[in-house]
Amino acid sequence: MAENRDLSLLETLDHLLDRGVVITGEATISVADVDLLYLGLSVVLGNIDAVDRLRLPPSLKKPPGGES
Amino acid sequence: MTGESVLYTYGIASSGEALPSLEGLVSIDGRASFREVREDRWTAVASEVPAAEFSQEEVDRHSTDLEWLGRLGVRHQRVNEHLSQSTDIIPLRAFTLFSSEEALRGWLQKHSDELERVHARTRGSLEWTLRFEVRGTDWMDETAELAGIRAEIESAPSGKAFLLQKKLEREAERVRDEAEERFIGEMERSISERFGVPAVIESRDTRGGADPQISVLMPRGRGEEFEEWVVRLAEDLRSKNVGVLLTGPWPPYSFAGGVHG
Residue B63 confidence (pLDDT) = 80
Helix axes A2-16, A34-46, angle to 10 degrees: 150
A41 contacts B234? CB cut-off 8 A: no
- Per the DSSP assignment, residues forming a β-bridge with B13 are B43
Complex confidence, ipTM: 0.77
Distance (Å, whole) CA B188 – CA B215: 9
**What is the mean pLDDT of the segment spanning B9-15?**
95
pLDDT of residue A7: 65
Considering only alpha carbons, which residue of chain B is nearest residue A22?
B257
Q: Does B133 lie at the interface with A, CB-CB under 8 angstroms?
A: yes
Alpha carbon distance B151, B173 (integer Å): 18
- In this prediction, residue B261 carries a pLDDT of 32
Cβ pair B94:A9 closer than 8 A = no
- Who among B104, B211, B256 is closest to A23 (CB)? B256
Beta strands in chain B, from DSSP E residues, in sequence order: 5-14, 35-39, 42-50, 90-91, 96-98, 125-133, 199-202, 213-219, 243-250
Grade residue B115 by pLDDT with cuts at 50, 70 and 90.
very high
CB-count burial class (<10 Å; 0-12, 13-18, 19+) for B188: middle
- Burial class from Cβ neighbours inside 10 Å (0-12, 13-18, 19+) for residue B259 reads exposed
Chain B residues 136-195 with CB within 8 Å of chain A:
none
Q: What is the mean pLDDT of residues B147-167?
A: 90
Are B9 and B92 in contact by the 8 Å Cβ rule? The answer is yes
Q: State the burial class of residue B71 (Cβ atoms within 10 Å of its Cβ: 0-12, 13-18, 19+).
A: buried
B252 close to A17: Cβ distance less than 8 angstroms? no
For chain B, the straight-line distance linking the first and the last C-alpha, in angstroms and rounded, comes to 34
A-B C-beta contacts closer than 8 Å: 170
Residue-level pLDDT at B228: 92
Q: How far apart are CA A68 and CA A62, in angstroms?
A: 9
Q: How many CB atoms lie within 10 A of CB B174?
A: 13
**How many other C-beta atoms can be found within 10 angstroms of the C-beta atom of residue B123?**
12
Rg from Cα positions in chain B: 23
Q: What pLDDT does residue B19 have?
A: 96
Within a 13 Å sphere around the CA of B126, how many CA atoms are in the beta-carbon half? 22
pLDDT tens for B66-96 read 888 889 999 999 999 999 999 999 999 888 8
Least confident of B48-57, B66-75, B136-145, B148-157: B136-145
User: DSSP states of B207-225 as a string?
Assistant: TTTSPPEEEEEEEGGGHHH
Give per-residue pLDDT as tens, B221-257. Answer: 999 999 999 999 998 988 888 889 899 899 999 998 7
List pLDDT tens digits, range A6-60.
667 788 888 888 655 456 666 666 666 555 556 555 555 554 444 344 444 443 3
CB-CB under 8 Å, B104 with A18: no
How high is the pLDDT of residue B259?
Answer: 35
What is the bridge-based pairing of β-strands B35-39 and B199-202?
unpaired
pLDDT for position A23: 60
How confident is the model at residue B22, as a pLDDT? 95
> Do residue B69 and residue A31 have CB atoms under 8 angstroms apart?
yes
Contact state of A67 with B75 under an 8 Å Cβ cutoff: yes
The whole-number pLDDT of residue A17 equals 80
Alpha carbon B101 to chain centroid, angstroms: 28
Dmax over CA atoms of chain B, in Å, equals 76
* pTM (predicted TM-score): 0.83
Torsion B25-B20-A61-B217 (CA) sign: negative
Sequence-ordered list of residues with C-beta below 8 angstroms from that of B151, at least 6 positions apart, any chain: none
A-interface mutation test, from B42, B79, B93, B228, most A Cβ less than 10 A away: B93
pLDDT of residue B174: 86
Query: Residue B82: exposed, middle, or buried by beta-carbon count in 10 A (0-12, 13-18, 19+)?
Result: buried
pLDDT, chain B, mean: 89
Could you give the maximum distance between any two Cα atoms of chain A, in Å?
A: 44
Determine whether the interchain pair B245/A23 forms a contact, defined as Cβ–Cβ distance below 8 Å. Answer: no
